[in-house]
Structure 1
Amino acid sequence: MKRSVRPHFGLLVIGDEILSSKRQDRHLSNLNALLKPRGLSLSWFKVLGDDASLLVDHLKQSFASGHVVFCCGGIGATPDDRTRQSAAQALGLPLIRHPEALAEIEAKFGDQAYPNRVRMADFPEGAAMIPNFFNRVAGFSIQQHYFMPGFPQMTQPMMEWVLNTYYADLSQAPRIELAVKLVEGMEADWIDFMESFEQRFPQLRLFSLPHIAENGARYIELGVEGEPDIAQAGMDVIMQEIQARNQAWLPLEKTQA
């Protein structure tokens, strides 16, 4: 059944190690690699540390937003992993040991599942399990929020499972980006055109990315993102304006958005 309103997608990466640069985030690029072939895109991306009060506050806002949110990190059993507890607190729910998640941990670790590994089967009451194909320590989902480990090699297959299981109906033709590079262009000179363009093509995302080269030369990457046919129509209008202004430009390759 098709949804009447397409949801916003968000990504929340949790962990002090990301904020301190001890580790570099890979979840953003991995999730984009899964969304883009489906014609989907992220609306926002946020990184938080392991501070429980901050996690609770941000998760309360996130749950209230109605967005689809992938949450990566902080669901382990050590004291510095606080995401499970914070999600439960944000929803005003107790943590309950999930029987299927418990069975997965017991099957993987046997007697070594106790006393500590089994804590990773404690989810907010009413949560559903997200299978972990790497080591069988499951994640969980509740209210369109999908909580997974901080290890990218575990999380990417779990993200794919979530998209295939819950959001297959949202898939559409992949969007593309078309752009050119304006040589010695100034964004201020293009504002009126860009405003009228957005009114004419509301289904496209118009973007303007200024660059300053090491030698001081200025460029603007001006282009559109959207479904192929309408993106090409929009780019044709941009090229007509470039030619009318005698604006110097350089081509850029078409890319998948």
Structure 2
Amino acid sequence: MSAAEDPDRVTCAVLIIGDEILSGRTQDTNLRDIARYLNVLGIDLAEARTVPDVLQEIVDALNALRSRYDYVITTGGIGPTHDDITADAIAAAFGVELEEHPEIIAMMQSRWQGELNAARRRMARVPVGGRLVKNPVQGPPGFTIGNVFTLAGVPTIMRGMLEDVGPRMRGGRPTVSRTVRVEGSGEGAIAAPLEAVARAHPDMSLGSYPFFGAEGYGSNLVIRSRDPAALAGVVDELIAALKGAGIENVREIEVA
């Protein structure tokens, strides 16, 4: 079911910006944190992209995502150095100029006793028409324009900024998940009954996540839906289908 067919579905994309992510020098954890935060709000994280510090690539990716989804969250590239070009790219994508935001200037003058060099002033630039996103941790705020929220790349700061983003978003019905654990059988054995149940319920998400370790091997089958009652029925149906295929070591588990 598409977002247009499901009025309860609200979608968001994440655009991760930075050469350091693509090079492997920095491990991204923001995507995980954003996904968890959005799920509580009932917003589906529908797509994530990572792009380098190249203005046109940021512009192209942003325009593609903001036209397709209800919201876009960007992370990274709003610091004081020459390669922090996220604000430039977002202004270009929206066809507006950048301006020094007076609130950010005042905030930085207070912090640095009025001494603002060119690098620090870069962090005060906001696209014309943009509004600030609070930064409760340290440093200048992020900003929002249109359906785009621009946040810092530093995880602790990004998480703090998210708290000001959530109330500005239209939430949907939260997705609920339940997990069926299959032990001692590989994905080849469970594929047919899993596919049959998935085909019978195209409005639900069914995924298989294999595990291997000292405790043995198998798969955790995760079913997701916005309808808890319907979800319970599909869990029972899946367990019955697996047992009908001769797979006996099957049980539902609680996942924190």
Structure 1 vs Structure 2 CA RMSD: 2.7
Question: 2:161 and 2:213 mapped to 1: Cα distance?
Answer: 42
Q: What is the aligned partner in structure 2 of residue 181 from structure 1?
A: 182
Deviations 1:61-88 (A, max 9, x none): 1232243111110011211111111111
Conserved 8 A contact 1:50-1:82: yes
Kindly state the Cα deviation for residue 121 of structure 1 after the two structures are TM-superposed. 1.6
Structure 2 letter corresponding to 1:221 = N
Kindly state the Cα deviation for residue 154 of structure 1 after the two structures are TM-superposed. 0.7
Instruction: Report SS of the residue matched to 1:41.
Output: strand
1:135 and 2:134 equivalent?
no
Moved over 6 A (4+): none
CA separation of 1:214 and 1:177: change in aligned 2, threshold 3 A: closer
Kindly state the Cα deviation for residue 51 of structure 1 after the two structures are TM-superposed. 1.8
Conserved 8 A contact 1:77-1:117: yes
Question: 1:25 and 1:252 mapped to 2: Cα distance?
Answer: 32
1:37 and 2:40 equivalent?
yes
1:7 and 2:10 equivalent?
yes
Conserved 8 A contact 1:134-1:154: yes
Instruction: Report SS of the residue matched to 2:43.
Output: coil
CA separation of 1:96 and 1:188: change in aligned 2, threshold 3 A: farther
Question: 2:229 and 2:110 mapped to 1: Cα distance?
Answer: 51
Conserved 8 A contact 2:9-2:173: no
1:111 and 2:114 equivalent?
yes
CA separation of 1:122 and 1:90: change in aligned 2, threshold 3 A: same
Kindly state the Cα deviation for residue 153 of structure 1 after the two structures are TM-superposed. 0.8
**Further displaced range: 224-233 or 178-187:** 178-187
Conserved 8 A contact 2:179-2:220: no
Show structure 2 runs of 5+ residues with no match: 1-5
Kindly state the Cα deviation for residue 189 of structure 1 after the two structures are TM-superposed. 6.4
Q: What is the aligned partner in structure 1 of residue 234 from structure 2?
A: 234
TM-score by length of 2: 0.84
Show structure 1 runs of 5+ residues with no match: none
Instruction: Report SS of the residue matched to 1:112.
Output: coil
Q: What is the aligned partner in structure 1 of residue 163 from structure 2?
A: 160
Sequence identity, in percent?
24
Question: 2:224 and 2:47 mapped to 1: Cα distance?
Answer: 17
1:197 and 2:197 equivalent?
yes
Q: What is the aligned partner in structure 2 of residue 85 from structure 1?
A: 88
Question: 1:24 and 1:54 mapped to 2: Cα distance?
Answer: 21
TM-score by length of 1: 0.84
